[in-house]
């Protein structure tokens, strides 16, 4: 049974009780993060905590904890789930790779759209396993479909108000696809739960940051890896036509890392196989992850 962090306490996830008056429940008045850890060590934790701070500021909710307190509580959450840093390799094998889901709501108050006077934020943290990349994905890539991006105008805030994303992802699932690529006014924004990249003539291209998409932590790291690899990189608009004519298309997110898309709306992308630029950056990502979490690459099941 997994252990949750609930307002500073650690308890079995099943015994967490959220009030029906919690504004996260009533209004989706809350923000969140999903933070990966490998073998008991967080990966890119600072970037996630920076973004959490920006999301809280954007919704005008005072941060309930300071940086050191967040680090302490999140690290303790890993420990409680058998994935402490330096945890001994037990009978169950090495510490698991876990994604931490962290949500901060504006807390419990009588239902009223306007903020309560003195909000007492609700903090929930819970973990789920990070699954290794399936060999079929590595060899064949994933299907995606395109959908109209009809979300609100502040998709740069990592808010839990995700109904449009949920509907888009469900439509993708019903079409046998792993992700919905969202298009606004004929331009790619991102995936329903991922950022998107295209490769054209060797250049790695991703839409520029603006309020229409999430500044993904993985997106930023992949751009950094591409620059380190000496690849040409561009942050610019990607039209619907460019998306369909791309040599490669990728998705990025913290728990699914970098994924190749090889079919869009049933049509092959480029050669119809995961491309060489993806393979290079996927390998670089595994190496960076191994180094940052101080493990030999072969100990990582994602290699
Ligand atoms: N989602 N765009 C959207 C809409 C997302 O929901 C996510 C991640 C991303 C990628 O961001 P990052 O690289 O920081 O994970 C982009 C998380 C994983 C989720 O909702 O589960």
What per-residue confidence (pLDDT) applies to 1? Answer: 75
What per-residue confidence (pLDDT) applies to 230? Answer: 98
Contact 278, 260 (CB under 8 A): yes
What per-residue confidence (pLDDT) applies to 94? Answer: 81
Catalytic residue among 51, 158, 169, 219: 158
> How much distance in Å is there from the Cα of 186 to the middle of ligand 1?
22
What's the mean per-residue pLDDT of the chain? 94
Q: What is the pLDDT of residues 5-59, one digit of tens each?
A: 999 999 999 999 999 999 999 999 999 999 999 999 999 999 999 999 999 999 9
Q: Is 158 a catalytic residue?
A: yes
What per-residue confidence (pLDDT) applies to 302? Answer: 44
CA 276, 282, 286, 289 dihedral sign is positive
Please tell me the residue having the least CA distance from ligand 1 atom 11: 216
| Residues 283, 290: Cα–Cα separation, whole Å | 11
> How much distance in Å is there from the Cα of 43 to the middle of ligand 1?
15
Low-confidence residues in the chain, pLDDT < 50: 300-303
The structural domains of the chain, with segments of one domain joined by +, span 3-129, 135-292
Longest dimension (CA), the chain: 57
One fold for both 3-129 and 135-292?
Answer: no
Q: Is 254 in the pocket of ligand 1 (CB under 6 A)?
A: yes
Q: Is 189 in the pocket of ligand 1 (CB under 6 A)?
A: no
β-partners of residue 191 are 181, 194
Q: What is the pLDDT of residues 121-151, one digit of tens each?
A: 999 999 999 998 999 999 999 999 999 999 9
Q: Is 256 in the pocket of ligand 1 (CB under 6 A)?
A: no
> How much distance in Å is there from the Cα of 132 to the middle of ligand 1?
18
The pick from 165, 193, 206 for probing ligand 1's pocket by mutation, whose C-beta has the most ligand atoms within 8 angstroms, reads: 193
Task: Specify the CATH architecture of the domain 3-129.
Answer: 2-Layer Sandwich (3.30)
For the domain covering 135-292, report its CATH number. Answer: 3.20.10.10
What per-residue confidence (pLDDT) applies to 301? Answer: 45
| Residues 207, 170: Cα–Cα separation, whole Å | 24
């Amino acid at each position: 049974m997994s252990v949750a962090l609930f307002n500073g306490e650690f308890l079995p996830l099943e015994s967490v009780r959220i009030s029906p008056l919690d504004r996260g429940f009533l209004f989706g008045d809350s923000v969140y993060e999903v933070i990966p850890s490998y073998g008991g060590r967080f990966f890119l934790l600072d970037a996630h905590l920076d973004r959490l701070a920006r999301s809280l500021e954007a919704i005008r909710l005072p941060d309930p904890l300071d940086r050191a307190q967040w680090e302490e509580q999140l690290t303790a959450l890993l420990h409680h789930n058998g994935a402490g840093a330096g945890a001994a390799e037990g009978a169950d094998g090495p510490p698991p790779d876990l994604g931490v889901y962290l949500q901060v709501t504006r807390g419990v108050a009588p239902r009223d759209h306007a903020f309560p006077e003195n909000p007492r934020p609700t903090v929930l943290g819970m973990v789920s396993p990070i699954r290794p990349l399936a060999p079929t994905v590595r060899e064949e890539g994933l299907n995606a479909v395109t959908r109209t991006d009809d979300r609100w105008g502040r998709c740069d805030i990592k808010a839990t108000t995700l109904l449009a994303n949920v509907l888009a992802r469900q439509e993708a699932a019903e079409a046998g696809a792993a992700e919905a690529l969202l298009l606004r006014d004929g331009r790619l924004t991102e995936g329903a739960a991922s950022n998107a990249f295209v490769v054209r003539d060797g250049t790695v291209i991703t839409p520029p940051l603006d309020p229409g998409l999430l500044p993904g932590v993985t997106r930023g790291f992949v751009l950094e890896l591409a620059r380190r690899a000496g690849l040409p990189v561009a942050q610019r608009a990607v039209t619907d036509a460019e998306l369909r004519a791309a040599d490669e298309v990728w998705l990025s997110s913290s728990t699914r890392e970098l994924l190749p898309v090889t079919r869009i709306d049933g049509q092959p992308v480029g050669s119809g196989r995961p491309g060489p630029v993806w393979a290079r950056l996927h390998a670089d990502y595994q190496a960076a992850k191994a180094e940052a979490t101080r493990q030999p690459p072969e100990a990582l099941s994602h290699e």
